[in-house]
Chains A and B, each alone.
Chain A
């Protein structure tokens, strides 16, 4: 059974940093791309970032490019999202999602419940 467990969310001041983690199990982690998708309170889904199975290719939404960094440790079956220079508009539940393929050019077939990030002074 595929399981994705996010952690690392919390309250942070504007301009601060946070690192999210997503521990995966139930599949061959290194064979699949992984993504982060966020959802602001009461709003729709917004794709944030994706990383290929090897970690060699990364993709970012314009709204986070230069501030967020996605990475993965295939030995630990974990994907990370380092978020710097956080803004009020980054407040959201951040979902980790498994891609249906390796490259990152795929849909997300399994999702975690998410971790809440609140940016506020």
Chain B
């Protein structure tokens, strides 16, 4: 099983700041099989990024993904008030598909 470890667990930032979230895999993941999701309290997760760097439909361009192998990054260039949420990475390269434990982006 591929274990995904996200860091940090919590990121405290102000609106307008840049957020950098990390996702490290226990073994190499093909970049085409790495996704990022956003989840707000009481809501279903929303797909942000697929294939490590492709924005899903309707996702603003302040969200970007990068990385390969075992190191992946989600960057939010300028935080908007609606971006404060929990973010999960997921690999779907090797069954069982696995998620990271999540990074909470909170208002400082």
By a beta-carbon cutoff of 8 Å, the part of chain A in contact with chain B is 37, 44-47, 50, 59-62, 95, 100, 105-114
Contact = CB atoms under 8 A, between A and B. Distances in A.
A61 B1 CA distance: 10
B96 A59 contact: yes
B99 A111 contact: no
B92 A109 contact: no
Interface residues of B, number: 24
Nearest to B95: A59
A112 B44 contact: yes
Contacts of B45: 37, 45, 95, 108, 111
B92 A106 contact: yes
Contact of A105 (B90, B92, B100, B101): B92
Contacts of A37: 45
Interface in B51-108: 56-57, 88, 90, 92, 95-102
Interface in B1-57: 1, 33, 35, 37, 39, 43-47, 50, 56-57
B91 to A, nearest CB: 9
A62 B95 CA distance: 10
A107 B47 contact: yes
Contacts of A108: 35, 45, 47
Contact of B99 (A47, A106, A109, A110): A47
A46 B90 CA distance: 10
